[in-house]
């Protein structure tokens, strides 16, 4: 089972992600703060970490820099944003990929595509 940690300050977004992945084969852990995200990283040992870009008191790239040292080599970090500027700069900020159109498109389809790649490399 693929383990995912999702970090977002919006409870509505967290609920939407839980609902969107409810019938999926993924184990989802959610966090609204860096402290919670740190705890999730230790507990879940995720293959995928999804981080919202705009959070109060913490930008997504700052969160990434704090969490990356806690991750394994196989962990991939994806930015989740509607910010076109952040979308264009996601690699420069250190993210492995980006999910765009937050709240406006099916995140499940995007995660499924990433999961297939992650599972392929985990199995090979």
Instruction: Give me the residue label for tokens 């389809």.
Output: 109
Predicted pLDDT at 96: 94
Predicted pLDDT at 67: 97
d(CA 27, CA 21): 9
Tokens of 20: 């969107």
Greater confidence (95 vs 13) lies with 95
The number of distinct structural domains making up the chain is: 1
pLDDT of 15-28, one tens digit each? 888 888 888 888 99
pLDDT of 32-79, one tens digit each? 999 999 999 999 999 999 999 988 888 999 999 999 999 999 899 999
pLDDT of 69-124, one tens digit each? 999 998 999 998 888 888 899 999 999 998 876 555 577 778 888 888 777 666 44
Instruction: Give me the residue label for tokens 């962990």.
Output: 75
Which CATH number covers residue 56? 3.40.50.2300
d(CA 21, CA 39): 21
∠ CA 101-107-108, nearest 5°, is: 165
What average pLDDT score do residues 5-13 get?
91
* DSSP secondary structure code for residue 93 in this structure: H
Quote the strand ranges of the chain, DSSP E: 2-7, 26-31, 48-52, 54-55, 58-59, 76-81, 97-100
Predicted pLDDT at 32: 94
In which domain, by residue range, is 83 found? 2-123
């Amino acid at each position: 089972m693929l383990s995912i940690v999702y970090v977002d300050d919006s409870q509505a977004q967290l609920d939407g992600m839980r609902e969107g992945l409810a019938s999926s084969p993924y184990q989802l852990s959610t966090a609204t703060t860096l402290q919670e995200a740190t705890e999730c990283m230790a507990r879940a040992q995720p293959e995928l970490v999804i981080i919202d870009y705009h959070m109060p008191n913490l930008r997504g790239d700052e969160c990434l820099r704090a969490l990356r040292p806690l991750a394994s080599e196989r962990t991939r970090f994806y930015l989740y944003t509607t910010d076109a500027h952040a979308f264009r700069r996601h690699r420069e900020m250190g993210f492995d990929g980006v999910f765009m159109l937050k709240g406006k498109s099916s995140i499940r389809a995007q995660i499924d595509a990433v999961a297939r790649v992650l599972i392929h490399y985990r199995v090979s």
